Amino acid sequence: MNITYKLKTTPKPSNLPKSNYIPYSSLPPPTLHDSCDSGTDWLKNLIKYGLP
């Protein structure tokens, strides 16, 4: 999954800062076996890929 590509093709709401425009729909779905950590998994992915 290319997260950077998805973010580039996601429109930015003009009323939000750049770091807050990422909609949940563009993030990877939480894993079924690790749903308890799904709230932080996407943050870890953003950090791992060098995104805000």
pLDDT tens, the chain, 52 aa long: 555 555 555 555 555 555 555 555 555 555 554 544 556 677 777 777 765 5
The amino acid at 27: L
Using alpha carbons only, how large is the chain's radius of gyration in Å? Answer: 12
Nearest to 51 by CA among 19, 24, 27: 19
Domain boundaries, the chain: 3-48
User: Is residue 41 a contact partner of residue 31, using CB atoms and an 8 Å limit?
Assistant: yes
Give the single-character DSSP code of 39. H
pLDDT score, position 35: 47
